[in-house]
Amino acid sequence: MARISVQTEDFDIGAEFAALTAGRTDIGGIGCFVGTVRASAQDRVAAMTLEHYPAMTERAIARIVEEAERRWELLGCTVIHRVGRLTAGENIVLVLAAASHRQPALDATAFLIDWLKTKAPFWKKEEFADGAATWVEARAADDAAAARW
């Protein structure tokens, strides 16, 4: 039973951990990935806007989670992806995967974020400090990361 949410508001990582593990004594490890808006010196990104395809997004994420559950014995899973305008330093995405041991928890977490990047209908538009804005282009490295699973 996974928790999937697509939302504009921020998420509370501690609260999500607590919700995932509440009342459980069978979990031995939880993998966690948090993606944030990066503002490196070279690209001067001030903010980004995340657009998505509302009728399809949660369904596409559910399919990715189902695939993770097919490959690993997960005891719980949380995927939260924010949409709308986010400024540098803000959280974008949270992935938590719980299992009885660390390896399936860590592998499932990496799998989930790799597939989210290439198989869920989100698009990022970056805004730069000088006011310019451009759509982020898909990277071959992301396709390669998704294909290794």
Partner 1 sequence: MADAATPLTILYFAWLRERTGTSQECVTLPADVRTVGALIAWLAERSPGHASAFANRRTVRCAVNQDFADPATPVGPGDEVAFFPPVTGG
| Contact residues: partner 1, CB under 8 A | 35, 50-53, 55-56, 59-60, 81, 92-93, 113, 116-125, 135-138, 142
Smallest distance from partner 1 to CB 136, Å: 4
Nearer to partner 1, 19 or 138 (CB): 138
Q: 147: burial class by Cβ within 10 Å (0-12, 13-18, 19+)?
A: exposed
Structure tokens at 87: 């400024």
Write the single-letter amino acid at 91. N
The candidate with the shortest Cα–Cα distance to 30, out of 126, 120, 104, 121, is 104
Nearer to partner 1, 9 or 137 (CB): 137
Nearer to partner 1, 22 or 132 (CB): 132
The candidate with the shortest Cα–Cα distance to 48, out of 119, 134, 138, is 134
d(CA 17, CA 131): 37
Smallest distance from partner 1 to CB 6, Å: 10
Smallest distance from partner 1 to CB 113, Å: 6
The most distant pair of C-alpha atoms in the chain lies apart, rounded to whole Å, by 52
What phi, psi does 97 have (nearest 5°)? -135, 125
Nearer to partner 1, 10 or 26 (CB): 10
Smallest distance from partner 1 to CB 115, Å: 9
Smallest distance from partner 1 to CB 79, Å: 10
Nearer to partner 1, 93 or 99 (CB): 93
